[in-house]
A and B are shown apart, each in its own frame.
Chain A
Amino acid sequence: MTTSPQQQSPLLDASGVAKNYGAVAALRNASLSVLPGEVHALMGANGAGKSTLVKILTGAISANAGRILIRGEARDIRSPAAARRAGLLPVYQEPSLIPDLDVLSNLRLTGTPVEPFRAWVRELGISDLDLRDTARDIPLAILRVLDLARALAVEPDVLLLDEMTAALPANLAEKVLEVVRRQGDAGRAVIFISHRFVEISALCDRATVLRDGATVGVVDIVPGVEEKIVELMLGTRIEKTKVAARAGQGAASAPALPRIAVRNLRVGTKLNDVSFDLRDGEVAGVVALEGQGQDELFAALAGSIRPSGGAIEVDGKPAKFAHPIDAIRAGIAYVPGDRSEALAMQRSVRENIALPFSAALRNWGPIAMGRERATVASAIQRLQIDTRAQGEVQRLSGGNQQKVTIARWIAADARTILCFDPTRGIDVGTKQEIYKLLRELAGNGKSVLFYTSELEEVQRVCDRVIVIFGGRLVDIFSVEEADEPALMRAAYGLPRGAKADVGILADPSANPSDAPAPEARP
């Protein structure tokens, strides 16, 4: 791998770091070496182990194996306080000021010197901060900047920034990047975690790339390195798989009206101007890195949150969802990614599957037990749920729990199912069953919106795939085009310029404006 010549000894040198959660290896063999004076990007696809590595470096969790050297000395970082003493300071995505205290008390609490803090706050472009303000009353974007200022004020050797510019308005983001860049000049180092290539190429000197819990490369940031990084993140999965368009459904028999038409949908600052159609008889995939607005998209379609702008049309009629019941009445069911969000864990499989039947006021009376048993049994049969422990859902395996969350809506015969990462953390066999089920649903004329964090699932299941980056819909692929490299590039906001295989040899002069406009725009 390319590395700069090692004239200096690294400030931070972690190697062979591993972490297991039970049988699952979150990190297998990660290493990270940061030199004095550099801004170092840490990159990796969803689930590659970035956040686990960060948590280990900052003492939030402890590693099962590995060695961490700070300024050449082996250190055992057992707590956030120990990391701080060792000169390692993180700024996380969530603001860390205590909401009920004013800024000054928050500073005292962490032993942060006040004057340097003030200076950094001014430096970062906030001129009118009153230290007596209660943290709760300060806007989120400012809080994140205050977190950064608080970290800078103690002059850490290594500053760890997790998606620092997310949720910042452009002017603040610019100041932040400027200050971060200057950290390097003072001989300190910054570890910069970001999904944005634009920022990384403007700011960073080198990047460490993680894949499947291991460091797969360290690269210098030079023009055109994006391709190389995408290649590293994909690893051996680079070969193109050709998938024929699915016969029968979709485009061939495209009906006049889409089942759901999303128009310029906006949710707070998280989702911006998203438009696409979902048709009967198709599985539309959604691909996005973590936290790009896909959660808000699904929640808005499910009626869990109200969009702040734009429109959702169901069967050609505008729909306003104030509560999930409104979406359910329109035949739209939501299967959340977190099973514990969807299941009453202490209740039986049967009660969980039948839960939507009792929801409406008119169904509060006596339950037709025979009919319910039959409906539930057929849903259980269809999904092949293992019902040996059906007395309490919490005793089922994860895969079977996931099946219950889907079976509920099969039993309720929902016309549209919004599946949010339904295969996360379940075994391979169950995954296959879920793919098959989603295809069957589409075959029966239902429509499915399917978010997945595993890119390889797209070509197995979807007819089309929508890619979201930074709250915007950046591309729509047909299934034939949606191979992993193409999706990965799009998910990182890279234009669909290079038509050839991704690689170092890809044409760097590819024109970004080649990227076709999302085809579903009206």
Chain B
Amino acid sequence: MSTSAITPAPIPLGRRVKRFMADRPLIPLIILLVILVVILQILRPGIVNERWIANTIKFAIPLAILAGCQTMTMLTGGIDLSVGTVATMSAFIMATQIVNQDPAVAFLLAMMPAVLIGLVNGIGVGVFRVHPLIMTLGTSLIGTGCLQVYQRTVIASGAKIPDFLAWLGTGVTPILGFAFPNALLLFVPLAALIVFTLARTGFGRLLYAVGDNERATRLSGVQYWQVITALYVTSSLLAGITGLLYIGLIKAPSLSLAEPLVLPSVAAAVIGGTSIFGGRGGYTGTIIGALILTVLTTLLTILQMPEGARRILFGLIVLFVTAAYLRIVEER
């Protein structure tokens, strides 16, 4: 587990490179991403083209937004495992309600479970001090159950994917001869907002401070439950929006639509350098973490191996990358 696994830097420069990277934790992540892309290109010459890049970005965006939920909750020492269910619910409700409803009404209906689950999570964690892992797992299971009940009531009406969401999820717009995924229209402002919130707003400051030392924030007059409730509602809203985007990308509503994204979203945040113990991390790293995981998935798909072996490899790589990254960044 040395730098050479990640950076092909000449050895005499080793220490200086390490120091440099410790100060700019994004650099090793970007280098890793580039290395993965290069490996992909070597294994399948020609695969890395304009279409592949647009596709990768399209698939990385929902993961990156959900990983944003994890980043923010992890900064406070929490986690939000209900994002998959929330995204699935909003997607499923949107696809079924749009059949008979005005799009605006369908949108509001779709976001309702997100607000509700976020509120319950926030109150459970912030007021009743239930561990976030259990709290969000619980609401996630309850949400899935509710969705199954709901499904029976709409079975007759069928489902369709709103054109706008399909456009946003899968469409591309050629600008200067380059096909930009439309999803970036949603993601870029959203990402900018998250980065700004974390760095330059009182709320963002409090997330870091609460995760670092809750007692100190209390003595400074911070009311924990307010911060936590606002946080989990925000996280759920982001998950709800992700669901709408994701249904436009996948185009097949199901009861477990976004569920497979939950654990990768945690992994993306961790790879991106956010500490699961709270107080440390940021969203830019998480975005690159999401890209790394998406490229890694492609890479493992083109390797012709059984699904089981692929998963084992995926797990090993995630563990290895995280450990190596922490070693580099925390070197002082």
Q: How far does the alpha carbon of A356 sit from the alpha carbon of B221 in the complex, in Å?
A: 6
Q: Is A81 located at the chain interface by the 8 A CB criterion? A: no
Q: Is A357 located at the chain interface by the 8 A CB criterion? A: yes
Does B206 contact A366, Cβ atoms closer than 8 Å?
no
Q: Is A351 located at the chain interface by the 8 A CB criterion? A: yes
Please give me the residue from chain B that is nearest to A323 by CB atom.
B223
CB distance from A6 to the nearest CB of B (A): 52
Does B202 contact A357, Cβ atoms closer than 8 Å?
yes
Q: Which segment of B2-10, B34-42, B211-219, B312-320 sits at the interface? A: B211-219
Please give me the residue from chain B that is nearest to A363 by CB atom.
B202
Q: How far does the alpha carbon of A105 sit from the alpha carbon of B201 in the complex, in Å?
A: 54
Given A341-B219, A360-B221, A366-B200 contact (CB < 8 Å): yes
CB distance from B53 to the nearest CB of A (A): 34
Q: Is B209 located at the chain interface by the 8 A CB criterion? A: yes
Q: Is A448 located at the chain interface by the 8 A CB criterion? A: no
Q: Is B254 located at the chain interface by the 8 A CB criterion? A: no
Does A341 contact B216, Cβ atoms closer than 8 Å?
yes
Does B219 contact A344, Cβ atoms closer than 8 Å?
no
Contacts of B297 in A (CB 8 A): none
Q: How far does the alpha carbon of A356 sit from the alpha carbon of B202 in the complex, in Å?
A: 10
Q: Is A361 located at the chain interface by the 8 A CB criterion? A: yes
Please give me the residue from chain A that is nearest to B332 by CB atom.
A395
Which of A345, A346, A359 makes the CB contact (< 8 A) with B222? A359
CB distance from B314 to the nearest CB of A (A): 31
- Of the four ranges (under 10, 10 to 19, 20 to 34, 35 or more), the interface on chain A belongs to 20 to 34
Q: Is A325 located at the chain interface by the 8 A CB criterion? A: yes
A-B contact pairs, 24 of them (CB 8 A): A302-B219, A324-B221, A325-B223, A328-B221, A334-B219, A341-B213, A341-B216, A341-B219, A343-B216, A344-B212, A344-B217, A345-B213, A346-B279, A347-B212, A355-B205, A355-B216, A355-B220, A356-B221, A358-B205, A358-B209, A359-B222, A364-B202, A365-B202, A367-B202
Q: Is A304 located at the chain interface by the 8 A CB criterion? A: yes
CB distance from B162 to the nearest CB of A (A): 33
Does A359 contact B219, Cβ atoms closer than 8 Å?
no
Does A408 contact B279, Cβ atoms closer than 8 Å?
no
Does B280 contact A354, Cβ atoms closer than 8 Å?
no
Does A408 contact B215, Cβ atoms closer than 8 Å?
no
Which of B200, B202, B215 makes the CB contact (< 8 A) with A341? B215
Contacts of A345 in B (CB 8 A): 212-213
Does A324 contact B202, Cβ atoms closer than 8 Å?
no
Which of A304, A346, A358, A366 makes the CB contact (< 8 A) with B219? A304
Does B218 contact A343, Cβ atoms closer than 8 Å?
no
Q: How far does the alpha carbon of A355 sit from the alpha carbon of B220 in the complex, in Å?
A: 7
Q: How far does the alpha carbon of A344 sit from the alpha carbon of B208 in the complex, in Å?
A: 9
Q: Is A428 located at the chain interface by the 8 A CB criterion? A: no
Question: Contact flags (1/0) for B193-235 with A, using CB distance below 8 Å?
Answer: 0001000111101101100110111111111001000100000
Q: Is A1 located at the chain interface by the 8 A CB criterion? A: no
CB distance from A493 to the nearest CB of B (A): 31
Does A364 contact B203, Cβ atoms closer than 8 Å?
yes
Please give me the residue from chain B that is nearest to A358 by CB atom.
B202
Residues of A within 8 A of B (CB): 302, 304, 323-325, 328-329, 334, 336, 340-347, 351, 354-361, 363-367, 369, 408
Q: How far does the alpha carbon of A448 sit from the alpha carbon of B233 in the complex, in Å?
A: 41
CB distance from B222 to the nearest CB of A (A): 4
Please give me the residue from chain A that is nearest to B230 by CB atom.
A364
Q: Is the interface of A mostly helix, strand, loop or mixed?
A: helix
Contacts of B209 in A (CB 8 A): 344, 347, 351, 355, 358
Contacts of A367 in B (CB 8 A): 200-202, 205
Please give me the residue from chain B that is nearest to A325 by CB atom.
B221
Given A347-B208, A351-B208, A355-B209, A342-B219 contact (CB < 8 Å): yes
Which of A304, A340, A364 makes the CB contact (< 8 A) with B201? A364
Does A347 contact B202, Cβ atoms closer than 8 Å?
no
Given A343-B213, A347-B279, A361-B226, A324-B201 contact (CB < 8 Å): no
CB distance from A174 to the nearest CB of B (A): 39
CB distance from A353 to the nearest CB of B (A): 10
Q: How far does the alpha carbon of A281 sit from the alpha carbon of B196 in the complex, in Å?
A: 42
Does A358 contact B213, Cβ atoms closer than 8 Å?
no
Does B218 contact A324, Cβ atoms closer than 8 Å?
yes
Q: How far does the alpha carbon of A357 sit from the alpha carbon of B201 in the complex, in Å?
A: 11
Does B202 contact A344, Cβ atoms closer than 8 Å?
no
CB distance from B255 to the nearest CB of A (A): 36
Contacts of A334 in B (CB 8 A): 219
- Considering the complex of A and B, which 5 residue pairs feature the smallest CB-CB distances, nearest first? A358-B202, A344-B212, A359-B221, A325-B221, A364-B203
Q: How far does the alpha carbon of A342 sit from the alpha carbon of B200 in the complex, in Å?
A: 22
Which of B206, B212, B279 makes the CB contact (< 8 A) with A364? B206
Contacts of B230 in A (CB 8 A): 364
Does B201 contact A336, Cβ atoms closer than 8 Å?
no
CB distance from B221 to the nearest CB of A (A): 4
Q: How far does the alpha carbon of A357 sit from the alpha carbon of B202 in the complex, in Å?
A: 8
Does B203 contact A344, Cβ atoms closer than 8 Å?
no
Q: How far does the alpha carbon of A138 sit from the alpha carbon of B118 in the complex, in Å?
A: 40
Does B220 contact A366, Cβ atoms closer than 8 Å?
no
Identify which of residues 221-278 in chain B touch chain A, using a CB-to-CB cut-off of 8 Å.
221-223, 226, 230
Contacts of B216 in A (CB 8 A): 341-344, 355
Contacts of A341 in B (CB 8 A): 213, 215-216, 219
Given A344-B213, A344-B279, A345-B212, A356-B203 contact (CB < 8 Å): no
Contacts of A329 in B (CB 8 A): 221
Q: How far does the alpha carbon of A23 sit from the alpha carbon of B216 in the complex, in Å?
A: 29
Q: How far does the alpha carbon of A345 sit from the alpha carbon of B208 in the complex, in Å?
A: 11
Contacts of A324 in B (CB 8 A): 218-221
Contacts of A357 in B (CB 8 A): 202
Given A351-B205, A351-B209, A346-B280 contact (CB < 8 Å): yes
Please give me the residue from chain A that is nearest to B199 by CB atom.
A367
Contacts of B219 in A (CB 8 A): 302, 304, 324, 334, 336, 341-342
Please give me the residue from chain B that is nearest to A356 by CB atom.
B220
Q: How far does the alpha carbon of A329 sit from the alpha carbon of B223 in the complex, in Å?
A: 13
Q: How far does the alpha carbon of A347 sit from the alpha carbon of B222 in the complex, in Å?
A: 16
Q: How far does the alpha carbon of A365 sit from the alpha carbon of B230 in the complex, in Å?
A: 13
Does B221 contact A354, Cβ atoms closer than 8 Å?
no
Query: Apart from A341-B219, A346-B280, A358-B209, what are 5 other A-B pairs with CB-CB below 8 Å?
Result: A324-B221, A336-B219, A341-B213, A351-B205, A356-B220
Interface centre among B206, B218, B221 (most CB of A within 10 A): B221
Contacts of B218 in A (CB 8 A): 304, 323-324
Please give me the residue from chain A that is nearest to B196 by CB atom.
A366
Please give me the residue from chain B that is nearest to A355 by CB atom.
B220
CB distance from B330 to the nearest CB of A (A): 12
CB distance from B215 to the nearest CB of A (A): 5
CB distance from A355 to the nearest CB of B (A): 4
Q: How far does the alpha carbon of A154 sit from the alpha carbon of B223 in the complex, in Å?
A: 50
Q: How far does the alpha carbon of A501 sit from the alpha carbon of B212 in the complex, in Å?
A: 51
